[in-house]
Amino acid sequence: MAIKQVANYFLRASNQTSINLTDLNRPGILQHIASLTRDDVTDPDSVDVTASQDRIHHLIKDSDTDCITIASLAKTRLHVEDLSSPKELTLKEQTFAYAEAGLLLLTMIEGDVPSGWSFPPATAYCAPKKRVETWLTEERFPEELGWKKSERTIGLMDFVPVIKGIYEEKRRQAGKGPLWKAFVPSFLQQAGTDSEL
């Protein structure tokens, strides 16, 4: 199961043998700046992780359809990162931030979770807004709204196309272009050069 794999990864990365749930909420563990649903907490002794109704409302409003999508989550990621500015996410925090967004889509998806091994398109992911809102505000699975547990175990590979999609869409919305441009020197990207990419 993906949660067990993530927990084992966390334990190895933090050189721990057990998880203290209170510690998970402290800044720098799972609590991070630019959360989709929680305001930034910088006091290392704080364990207040009350959901921010403003952030949840913004997340819901970022989609102009009845579903939370990869595109709407990219828009929300940009918004919450702007709220945290000038602080920037560390690599560890980015990992948690994208996993948080991916988990939201994979858990609340309408229908079966597509296998990550099939590299589904971004349009394959639709999490009904009302279902997401209930889950985030009431912290329960909204079975009365059609939520059902996935019939198959969700694995780490299932997160890959979701996280990749959110990351690429976020770059596009921020005007940074496709990911490959981050790795190609700018002089090769300029119009009028004879080089082919």
12 vs 79: CA distance, rounded Å: 32
Name, in order, each residue with C-beta under 8 angstroms of 178's C-beta and a sequence gap of 6 or more. Answer: 168, 171, 172
| H or E element in which residue 67 lies | strand 67-68
Residues 36 and 76: beta-carbon distance below 8 Å: yes
Model confidence band, residue 112 (pLDDT cutoffs 50, 70, 90): very high
β-bridge partners, 128: 67
Summarize pLDDT for 21-54 with one digit per residue, the tens: 566 555 555 566 677 777 666 666 666 667 788 8
Query: What band does 163 get if pLDDT is binned at 50, 70 and 90?
Result: very high
> Is the separation of the CB atoms in 39 and 32 below 8 Å?
no
Domain boundaries along the sequence of the chain: 52-178
Q: How many whole angstroms separate alpha carbon 62 and alpha carbon 175?
A: 18
Q: Maximum CA pair distance of the chain?
A: 60
pLDDT of residue 93: 80
Residue 143 is encoded by which pair of tokens?
């079975």
Percent of the chain scoring above 90 in pLDDT: 48
pLDDT at 103 over 70: yes
Q: Which residue has the higher pLDDT, 10 or 175?
A: 175
pLDDT confidence of residue 171: 93
Q: How far apart are CA 121 and CA 6, in angstroms?
A: 24
Tokens of 128: 């009904």
Give the whole-angstrom CA distance, residue 67 versus residue 77.
16
- Decide if 5 contacts 155 (C-beta within 8 A): yes
